[in-house]
Structure 1
Amino acid sequence: MLNSKLCFIGAGFHASTNIYPAAIEAGATIQAVATRNLERSRAALLRFGSSGQAYDHAGQMLEQETCDGVVVVAQPVDQTKLVLECIEAGKHVYVDKPLGWTAEEAAKVAQAADQGDVVVMVGFMKRYAPIYQKLKALIDERTLGKVRSFQMKFAVDSTPFCENEEQFMKLAAIHMVDLMRYLFGEATQVTGTTVRDGKHINQSISLIFDEGVTGSAYFTGMSAWSRESESVLVTFEHGFALADEITKLTIHESHKGDLLPWKSLEEHDSLYTPSGTPMSGAYRDLYLRGFVGEMRHFMSCCQTGAVPLSSARDNISTMALCDRILSSFI
């Protein structure tokens, strides 16, 4: 377990529910918290058992605190400015997505990070989720041959926080867009169709990637999906793999041999799941969704100076793909 001293900017619902607990589980010490309200900052420190310093101004915290890194989980409209302030202060930064609202804004931050020689990592936690890391290893090792195609589904009730398709793409579906790039590379062709009824959004997207992989994605943001759902089905040359709801990975290898598989029990799947036990407490979801993994990765990069898997520079391509998808809709 790593031992890093982290300062936090923001203590809202997402930060308090996922990021703070994941950071502590990964080995972090909360050194300081800055929000717009001093009492709110003190409450966050108390809630997570920290004797650190409370601030009502992020700039003051950045000026006074010496730490291993800063975690920024604020409103999207504020995050780019806050990250640039962290970079100017010479701090390594983890920031929740999105970092920049466009590829141009993302590039501005990446350039500042390079010039400041600091680590800037974007919170695309699905890259660090065990199910997708195992799927990524299967793709890279070519155990089942090359990837030929994929189908992706993401469904969520985005109506409380997304007013339009751009907000839905960049505040919700962006995780799956980034996951496409992580698993399959860079998209060379994008076409899409969309139907919107008020805040209810349905999107169908077809893509071709630079390795010759073809894929389709179905994204929906509707109140019908009060139960969030996601899956990725990957077809290889010699089998397929289905990552279902972050808890079940099924791997099927094509039958080989002279005996027809329907003549006997020749077909078989390998099934990977987490165990279910009350001993996991509240941490099971934080591990399976990738929150603990991304915090551990960030702290390691801060200590070693390594480039994060989801770096500020890599984020440029994710934001660009979001914009390409949006501009492709008919």
Structure 2
Amino acid sequence: MKKAKLCFIGAGFHASTNIYPSAVEAGAEIQAIATRNIERSKAALLRFGSSGKAYDNTELMLQNEDCDGVVVVAQPEDQTALALECIRAGKNVYVDKPLGWNAAEAAAVAEAAQKAGVVVMVGFMKRYAPVYMKLKELIDGGSMGRACSFQMKFAVDSTPFCKDEEQFMKLAAIHMVDLMRFLFGEVVQVTGTTIKDGEHINQSISLKFDHGVVGSAYFAGMSAWSRESESVLVTFDDGFALADEINTLTVHHSRTGDNLPWKSLEEQDSVFTPSGSPMSGAYRDLYLRGFVGEMAHFMECCQNKAVPHSSGKDNIETMALCDTILASLI
């Protein structure tokens, strides 16, 4: 694949820490950057070794630059309008989550993209994280039988940027909500319990999926969780698999012999982990969290005019599920 030329809108902390370096690692050429401040745009270009052009006007950049795609990582309240601006300019666009604050806004973007014939991809990086891609292979491959049930945990200190349950769901837990759909399909039934305590979030959610999988999710947004934590435990017909803290997948196969498991070494666990060395540096984290994978996928979709896994159209269902979960909480 030839090097993709990308333009960027936004150069904040998340963009500079995760998105820019991941795009460069995936093989992108940073062609131009637009922020509200021309000096900030120039500084971002310099930081990531680009000789591209700096802008303080998004509309002007979209008019002047002929690129493979535009990457939008701005404030959540600005992203829908920026995405639509890119689409009207005929540009393929990647937008960090959330794209639209609800299903109706998400649908408006997807419809505009379809009419314009451009690629729209939403930044749900967990779909591209190696641990969840491997878990998805187990679920779809059938080597352990059917996926029957799951338990999901996500806990983070969301208090600096989420002031209520809706913000928590759509700015933080949304990644896990989208991951549910990626792994298990569409939800047909939701019940939930919450303790309403302002910006402190504690939620317990039960879900039933259209393929017969049932599951539970524990979501917490508390300062107690300054150590961000997540896991997904899936029970199959013939074993279970635990994706733990992004970097470990433990797969347990049920015994197949006639002896009782405590009489002999009949049970088997396979543990998949990444290696770590001084050579991996900070890029190890960007790969494991899925940022490099999603940037590579976006560039491939732009160049081949393919539909992304986390497309604008698919995003409609994720936003709808967020609201369904919120409406179920009692």
Bucket of the pairwise TM-score, normalised by the shorter protein? over 0.9
What's the counterpart of residue 323 of structure 1? 323
Deviations 1:220-240, CA, capped at 9 Å, x for gaps:
000000010000000001100
What's the counterpart of residue 293 of structure 1? 293
* Bigger mean CA offset, 114-123 vs 1-10: 1-10
What's the counterpart of residue 139 of structure 1? 139
Aligned partners of 1:2 and 1:296 also within 8 Å:
no
Query: Any idea what SS the aligned residue of 1:269 has?
Result: strand
* Bigger mean CA offset, 262-271 vs 243-252: 262-271
Deviations 1:200-232, CA, capped at 9 Å, x for gaps:
100000000000000000000000000100000
Tell me how far 1:40 sits from its aligned partner: 0.4
What's the counterpart of residue 83 of structure 1? 83
Aligned pairs, number: 330
Distance in 2 between residues matched to 1:140 and 1:17, nearest whole Å = 33
Query: Any idea what SS the aligned residue of 2:8 has?
Result: strand
The gaps in structure 1 that reach 5 residues or longer are none
Distance in 2 between residues matched to 1:248 and 1:195, nearest whole Å = 31
Tell me how far 1:2 sits from its aligned partner: 4.8
Aligned partners of 2:103 and 2:316 also within 8 Å:
yes
Distance in 1 between residues matched to 2:3 and 2:132, nearest whole Å = 26
What's the counterpart of residue 9 of structure 1? 9
Distance in 2 between residues matched to 1:123 and 1:62, nearest whole Å = 21
What's the counterpart of residue 198 of structure 2? 198
Query: Any idea what SS the aligned residue of 1:231 has?
Result: strand
Deviations 1:262-287, CA, capped at 9 Å, x for gaps:
00122120000000111001100000
Distance in 2 between residues matched to 1:18 and 1:2, nearest whole Å = 22
Deviations 1:140-199, CA, capped at 9 Å, x for gaps:
001100011000000000000000000000000000000000000000000000113231
Correspondences of 1:123-134 after superposition (within 5 Å)? 123-134=123-134
Q: 1:262 to 1:186 in 2, by over 3 A?
A: same
What's the counterpart of residue 244 of structure 1? 244
Which stretches of structure 1, 4 residues or more, deviate above 2 A after TM superposition?
none
Matched, 1:253 2:238: no
Query: Any idea what SS the aligned residue of 1:49 has?
Result: coil
Q: TM-score, normalised by structure 1?
A: 0.99
Distance in 2 between residues matched to 1:78 and 1:101, nearest whole Å = 11
What's the counterpart of residue 121 of structure 1? 121
The gaps in structure 2 that reach 5 residues or longer are none
Correspondences of 1:56-67 after superposition (within 5 Å)? 56-67=56-67
Q: Quick one: which amino acid aligns to residue 78 of structure 1?
A: D
What's the counterpart of residue 172 of structure 1? 172
Aligned partners of 1:2 and 1:26 also within 8 Å:
no
Distance in 2 between residues matched to 1:247 and 1:161, nearest whole Å = 26
Q: Quick one: which amino acid aligns to residue 304 of structure 1?
A: N
What's the counterpart of residue 20 of structure 2? 20
What's the counterpart of residue 207 of structure 1? 207
Distance in 2 between residues matched to 1:287 and 1:18, nearest whole Å = 10
Query: Any idea what SS the aligned residue of 1:87 has?
Result: helix
Query: Any idea what SS the aligned residue of 1:249 has?
Result: strand
What's the counterpart of residue 276 of structure 1? 276
Deviations 1:36-58, CA, capped at 9 Å, x for gaps:
00000000001111110000011
RMSD of equivalent CA atoms: 0.6
Distance in 1 between residues matched to 2:281 and 2:98, nearest whole Å = 30
What's the counterpart of residue 105 of structure 1? 105
Distance in 1 between residues matched to 2:126 and 2:179, nearest whole Å = 7
Aligned partners of 2:257 and 2:266 also within 8 Å:
no
Aligned partners of 1:2 and 1:299 also within 8 Å:
no
Query: Any idea what SS the aligned residue of 1:132 has?
Result: helix
Aligned partners of 1:2 and 1:300 also within 8 Å:
no
Query: Any idea what SS the aligned residue of 1:197 has?
Result: coil
Distance in 1 between residues matched to 2:223 and 2:243, nearest whole Å = 24
* Bigger mean CA offset, 79-88 vs 194-203: 194-203
What's the counterpart of residue 156 of structure 1? 156
Q: Quick one: which amino acid aligns to residue 240 of structure 1?
A: F
Distance in 1 between residues matched to 2:159 and 2:257, nearest whole Å = 51
Q: Quick one: which amino acid aligns to residue 139 of structure 1?
A: I
Distance in 1 between residues matched to 2:181 and 2:199, nearest whole Å = 27
Correspondences of 1:21-60 after superposition (within 5 Å)? 21-60=21-60
